[in-house]
C-alpha cells in the first residue's frame, strides 16, 4: 500500500487493524462459499458456530474502545497526507466503526449463528415446498434483525429500515425509494402490457432444442467468462442452490445452477455473476484490506453485474460473438440458432414467478414486492406466518400472476433466511446505474459495439477498471456516478432504455 503512515501513528495502527478485519472477512467469505457449494449438510451446526465465532472476532476488532481514540487522533494526522485516498480511507474507517459500534457483539454472534442455521433450513424447505418448516428459524432471524435494526436506528438517528439500508447502500433512505418504487409500480405494468402486445405481433422466439449437457454448459460459460477477463487462476465457477459471487480478495468464487432443458438462464446467470466478479477483482490492489479499497456499496456492485448481463450480454452485438460458441458447444443448427432469434429470446418479456429468471422489464416489479414486504415484516405490520398470502397478493397486483406454490413464491430467495433485509432495493438502483454508466461508456468508446461483436471485450473492461472498479470506495455512489456520467443517478436513463429495447421507442 502506498504512502501508509508508520505503524507508530494512530492512522498506521488503524490500517493494521483494518487489515486484520479484512482478512477475517475474507475467511468468512470462503466459509460461506464452502457452505453454499460443497459442505456436507451434517456439518451445518459446526459451520454455524465457526461463522458466529469469526463474526464476533471481527466485530470486536472493530468496536474495541481503542479504535475510537485512534480515529480521533488520526483525524488530526490526515492533514499531513498529500494523497486524498487516505482521507477517504479514514472516512470509511469512521463509518465502519460508527455502524459496528451500534450493535452489541452478542447480537452479532447470535445473528450469524441463526442465519447460518436458517439458510440450511431454507434449502430443505424450498426443495420440499414447505414454508411451515422454515417458519421457526426464519422467525428467529427476523426477531434478531429487528433488534439489530433498532440498535442501529437508535445510534444513527434513523428509522429501523433506513438503518438496515445504510449497511448495503450508505445514504439511501426510504424517502428516496418510496416515490421511485411507487412510480415503477404505477408505470411498469402498463409497459409490460405494451411490450407483450408488441411481442405478440412479432415473430416468436424459439428456444433451441435440448438437452444441453451440464459439462457443455459449464465449458461455454467458462469460455465467455474468460473472454470477459475472469481470471481462473484467482477464481472459480461452481454450483449452488442460489447463484452468487463470493469468496475472498484475490480469490473470487461465483456459482450458478443448471437446467439441461434450457441453457440460456444459467448462462446469463453466470455472466451476471461475472460482472460482480470483475468488480471484485478490479478493486484497487494497493488498498486491499483497507475500507477505501472495498466495493462502494451494493447498488454500484449490482450495476456492474447488470451492465455485463443486461446492457452487454443480451445485446445483438454480444450474441453475434457468442452464437458460434453456443453452436459449437451444443451442436446447434437451424433457425433457432440465429442471432435475431437469440436476441428475441434474451429480450423476451414474460410475467414469471422467479426473480432471478425475470426479464429486464418485469424485474423491478419483483423488487417492489420484496421492498414492501420486508418493510412490513420488520415493522410488525405483516406477521411472518402471513407472508405466503401477502406474497401471492402482491404478485397478483404487480404482475397479474399468482404462484402455484411457495417454492415459486416466498421460498425462492435466500436473502431473508440469510438476514439480508434491506438488500433488495439495491438491485433496481443497480439496474438504473448500469444503464447510466453504459451510456457514458458508449459515448467514451465509439467502437464499443463493434468491439463487443468481435469479442474484443478488453477495452470495455479496462474502461470499467479505470472509472468504476479501481475507484473502490474513494467517493460516494452519487459522486462516483456524477464523475463518470456528469450527473447523479437519473432513473429516466433506465426507463428510456427499457422503452427503446422493449417498446421500440426512441
**Enzyme catalytic residues:** 273
Contact 421, 141 (CB under 8 A): no
Residue in this structure with the C-alpha cell 470483475, named with its chain if needed? 278
Q: What number of other Cβ atoms are within 10 A of residue 15's Cβ? A: 23
Burial tier of 104 (Cβ tally within 10 Å: 0-12, 13-18, 19+)? middle
Determine how β-strand 235-239 pairs with β-strand 245-248.
Answer: unpaired
Residues linked to residue 246 through DSSP beta bridges, in sequence order:
253
Give the C-alpha separation, 22 to 473, whole Å: 14
- What element of type H or E holds 35? helix 10-37
| Per-position b or e across 145-172, b if 16+ CB within 10 A of its CB | bbbbbebbbeeeebbbbbbbbbbbbbeb
Indicate if the alpha-carbon torsion angle 267, 270, 275, 281 is positive or negative.
negative
Q: Which set of grid coordinates corresponds to residue 280?
A: 471484485
Q: What number of other Cβ atoms are within 10 A of residue 132's Cβ? A: 11
C-alpha 111, offset from chain centre: 21
DSSP code string of 283-321: S-GGGTTSGGGS---HHHHHHHHHIIIIIIITSHHHHHH
Residues linked to residue 239 through DSSP beta bridges, in sequence order:
256
Task: Say how many CA atoms lie within 13 Å of 384 toward its Cβ.
Answer: 18
Q: Which set of grid coordinates corresponds to residue 253?
A: 468464487
Burial tier of 504 (Cβ tally within 10 Å: 0-12, 13-18, 19+)? exposed
Give the C-alpha separation, 134 to 446, whole Å: 52
Angle 25-30-36 from CA coordinates, rounded to 5°: 125
Q: What number of other Cβ atoms are within 10 A of residue 38's Cβ? A: 10
Compute the radius of gyration of the chain from its Cα atoms.
23
CA dist 200 to 196, 284, 360, 417, 479, Å?
6, 47, 18, 39, 42
- Residue among 301, 311, 264 nearest 279 (CA): 301
Amino acid at each position: 500500500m502506498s504512502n501508509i503512515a508508520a505503524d507508530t501513528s494512530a492512522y498506521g495502527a488503524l490500517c493494521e487493524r483494518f487489515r486484520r478485519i479484512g482478512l477475517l472477512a475474507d475467511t468468512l467469505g470462503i466459509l460461506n462459499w464452502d457452505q453454499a457449494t460443497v459442505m456436507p449438510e451434517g456439518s451445518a451446526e459446526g459451520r454455524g458456530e465457526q461463522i458466529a465465532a469469526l463474526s464476533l472476532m471481527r466485530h470486536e476488532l472493530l468496536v474495541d474502545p481503542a479504535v475510537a481514540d485512534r480515529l480521533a487522533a488520526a483525524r488530526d494526522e490526515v492533514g499531513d497526507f498529500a494523497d486524498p485516498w487516505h482521507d477517504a480511507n479514514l472516512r470509511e474507517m469512521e463509518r465502519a466503526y460508527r455502524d459496528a459500534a451500534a450493535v452489541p457483539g452478542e447480537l452479532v454472534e447470535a445473528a450469524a449463528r441463526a442465519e447460518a442455521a436458517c439458510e440450511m433450513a431454507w434449502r430443505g424447505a424450498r426443495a420440499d415446498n414447505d414454508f411451515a418448516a422454515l417458519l421457526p428459524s426464519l422467525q428467529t432471524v427476523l426477531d434478531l434483525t429487528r433488534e439489530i435494526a433498532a440498535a442501529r436506528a437508535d445510534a444513527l438517528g434513523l428509522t429501523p429500515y433506513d438503518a438496515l439500508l445504510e449497511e448495503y447502500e450508505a445514504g439511501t433512505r426510504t424517502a428516496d425509494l418510496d416515490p421511485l418504487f411507487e412510480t415503477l409500480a404505477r408505470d411498469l405494468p402498463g409497459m409490460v402490457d405494451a411490450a407483450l402486445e408488441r411481442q405478440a405481433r412479432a415473430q416468436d422466439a424459439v428456444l433451441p432444442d435440448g438437452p444441453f449437457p451440464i459439462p457443455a454448459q459449464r465449458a461455454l460459460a467458462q469460455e465467455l467468462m474468460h473472454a470477459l477477463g475472469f481470471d481462473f487462476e484467482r477464481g472459480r465457477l461452481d454450483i449452488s442452490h442460489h447463484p452468487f459471487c463470493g469468496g475472498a480478495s484475490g480469490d473470487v468464487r461465483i456459482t450458478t445452477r443448471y437446467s439441461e432443458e434450457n441453457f440460456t438462464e444459467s448462462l446469463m446467470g453466470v455472466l451476471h455473476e461475472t460482472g460482480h466478479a470483475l468488480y471484485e477483482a478490479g478493486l484497487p490492489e494497493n488498498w486491499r484490506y483497507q475500507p477505501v479499497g472495498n466495493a462502494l456499496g451494493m447498488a454500484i456492485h449490482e450495476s456492474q453485474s447488470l451492465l455485463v448481463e443486461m446492457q452487454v450480454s443480451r445485446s445483438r452485438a454480444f450474441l453475434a460473438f457468442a452464437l458460434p460458441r453456443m453452436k459449437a458447444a451444443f451442436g446447434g443448427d437451424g433457425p433457432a440458432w440465429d442471432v435475431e432469434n437469440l436476441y428475441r429470446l434474451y429480450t423476451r418479456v414474460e410475467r414469471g414467478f422467479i426473480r432471478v429468471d425475470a426479464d429486464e422489464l418485469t424485474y423491478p416489479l419483483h423488487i417492489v414486492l420484496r421492498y414492501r414486504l420486508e418493510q412490513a415484516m420488520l415493522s410488525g405490520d405483516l406477521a411472518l406466518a402471513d407472508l405466503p398470502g401477502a406474497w401471492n397478493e402482491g404478485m397478483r397486483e404487480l404482475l397479474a400472476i399468482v404462484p402455484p406454490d411457495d417454492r415459486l413464491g416466498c421460498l425462492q430467495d435466500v436473502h431473508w433466511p440469510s438476514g439480508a433485509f434491506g438488500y433488495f432495493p439495491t438491485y433496481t438502483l443497480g439496474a438504473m446505474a448500469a444503464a447510466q454508466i453504459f451510456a457514458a461508456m458508449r459515448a467514451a468508446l465509439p467502437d464499443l459495439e463493434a468491439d463487443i461483436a468481435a469479442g474484443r471485450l478488453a477495452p470495455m473492461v479496462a474502461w470499467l477498471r479505470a472509472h468504476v472498479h479501481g475507484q473502490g470506495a474513494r467517493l460516494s455512489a452519487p459522486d462516483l456516478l456524477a464523475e463518470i456520467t456528469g450527473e447523479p443517478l437519473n432513473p429516466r436513463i433506465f426507463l428510456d432504455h427499457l422503452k427503446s429495447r422493449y417498446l421500440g421507442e426512441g
